[in-house]
Chain A
Amino acid sequence: MINEIKNQTVGALLGTYPFAAVYFDGHHVDTKGRESVTVVDVFSDFVTAAGEDAVTTADELLEGLSEHVQQMLLFLADDLDTVRSLNLLPGTHKDGTPENFTNITINSGETICIVGPTGSGKSRLLADIEWVAQGDTPTGRTVLLNDQVPDRKWRFSPTHKLVAQLSQNMNFVMDLTVEEFLEMHAESRLADNVSDVVVRIIDQANALAGESFAPTTPITSLSGGQSRALMIADTAILSRSPIVLIDEIENAGIDRQKALELLLSEEKIVLMATHDPVLALMGGRRLIIANGGIEAVIETTEAERVILKELAVMDRRMTDLRNRLRRGERLE
């Protein structure tokens, strides 16, 4: 790879690999007006000009660039991150006794709930999945992807994160408008058609949130519900992570059912640690956690689905009353 890129002109390289621009920028190497110079010469000139301030050698810069290009190419090779199924193989409870299941398979497009008292090991189970445990975590569990021992890239690569996480207390902190922010995210994900993707995310987010926002709204001034709606739409559409963890989003002020449908429509595996009955019953199965282990796997029954329908009616009524309060109306 190094040999392949070093004698190309910068212009040719950026033509083939537009994403390499962030690498030059990250190392403060200015490429403007130098498109017809070879990569190796641009690096050598840069290092010479920096003199004693040079942080790296031209060789190191080349090596890094080659690594960056390879990683990005891997990232773009779609088939590599297709996760169709996830398998959990048993480990032990906190007291060392074995877990009593043989193999739990979760397929893409499926929602699973994780329930259990505080300290029981819910977060550890989610961490086992994120780290694709191979008997090397405190639980001794093994996680397989597509029935196979997974590639180690899932552990360390920033571009191949297995798990995207949505949790209650997250905020936006960047000083950008919704549109600018989504463009930046789309570019970092190397999305093909940035402006289309941005429009799609904003539409979906507005469908989830009660009150809609404009593309020019600063992300830091979104309401709690709008922020979460935007985070969910963005995660569903832009995140490449095949698994989404949802950690307690009960008071979200968004349409939870639609949010879940959006995530599932993108063929993700959704795992929720929640004790919210509406969310819990939306899942097809529940993993019951106690003493550090998975005690049981419960299928959501028909009777429970009837309860879910009742809850959904109550939920809508609550939302409706809340909206009327907001508009200054009487509730009687």
Chain B
Amino acid sequence: MKLVTVCGPPSSGKTAVILKTLEAFADRGLKAGVVKFDCLSTEDDVLYEKAGIPVKKGLSGPLCPDHYFVSNVEEIVQWGRGKGFDLLVSESAGLCNRCSPHIKEVLAVCVVDNLSGVTTPKKIGPMLKMADIVVITKGDIVSQAEREVFASRVAAVNPKAAVLHVNGLTGQGAFELSSLFDDEEREVESLIGYQLRFTMPSALCSYCLGETRIGESYQMGNVRKMKID
């Protein structure tokens, strides 16, 4: 089975792009499934089901969805293999701009949208910097010039990535993205022994574990203080 990790800021168009791309993937007679990781709730699973795409959802609750992702991805891979998928796509929310679900030797996609502003590419961090493919959405609502400027900023941050423009509404560019998924030669039987491309932040303080009270005496574990002078 092929595996693709798709991440990007909230509302950048990940679900829309995956839906259109898997439609084109199905047209090739291939079978794909999706796993969606989020924090508190997601309606994406309903959208995938409506499109006839088998989906599993994982809600991380109080944990970072990306930490939760790594802890569960092997089980998800086995679920996908059991279902006989040719391709499994994971969608994750990328809430902190610091985590990235990308795994070495596994095709990594980052979705960003033209509306997010030209400084966004440099703010996003490892999920963009370490992606193999960067998909830029919502080109339909900005000018040609803004698309060019935005794409050049993406390229400056990640010069090695293939950059594709996909319209999440009309599906323009989705066939092309699906052909890149299809071209992916690496098959995954198990992720045991694979490595993340980038370490997750060590967020393990008392607040991660449910503390709500404010004050030094309640702060335990990995606590960092601002420098104020």
Contact = CB atoms under 8 A, between A and B. Distances in A.
Interface string B101-139: 000000000000011011001100110010000000001
B145 interface: yes
B163 A169 contact: no
Contact of A138 (B27, B114, B173): B27
Contacts of B146: 172-174
A324 to B, nearest CB: 30
A188 B145 CA distance: 10
A172 B162 contact: no
A26 B128 CA distance: 11
B122 A27 contact: yes
Nearest to B164: A156
A188 B129 contact: no
B211 interface: no
Interface in A44-91: 52, 55-56, 64, 67-68, 71
Given A28-B122, A138-B175, A239-B144, A23 B156 contact: yes
Interface stretch (A2-10, A30-38, A160-168): A160-168
Contacts, number: 114
A123 interface: yes
Interface extent on A, as a size class? 35 or more
Nearest to A238: B145
B149 interface: yes
A250 B26 CA distance: 36
A155 B165 CA distance: 10
A189 B176 contact: no
Contacts of A181: 145
Contacts of A164: 144, 148
Contacts of B152: 22, 158-159, 188-189
A182 B144 CA distance: 12
A292 to B, nearest CB: 13
A173 B144 contact: no
Contacts of A108: none
Interface in A267-323: none
Nearest to B163: A158
A226 interface: no
Contacts of B156: 22-23, 25-26, 68
Contact of B142 (A25, A27, A123, A172): A172
Nearest to B173: A127
B4 interface: no
A154 to B, nearest CB: 12
**Closest 5 interchain pairs by CB?**
A156-B162, A158-B151, A67-B159, A158-B163, A26-B157
9 contacts: A26-B121, A55-B198, A68-B155, A158-B152, A170-B142, A181-B145, A189-B152, A231-B144, A239-B145
Interface of A: 22-23, 25-28, 52, 55-56, 64, 67-68, 71, 123, 127, 131, 136-138, 155-159, 161, 164-167, 169-174, 181-182, 184-185, 188-189, 227, 231, 234-235, 238-239
Interface of B: 27, 114-115, 117-118, 121-122, 125-126, 129, 139-146, 148-149, 151-160, 162-164, 170, 172-173, 175-176, 179, 198, 202
Given A123-B170, A165-B139, 19 more contacts: A26-B121, A55-B198, A56-B129, A64-B158, A64-B160, A127-B172, A127-B176, A136-B179, A155-B162, A158-B163, A164-B144, A165-B144, A170-B140, A173-B141, A174-B146, A184-B118, A231-B143, A235-B144, A238-B145
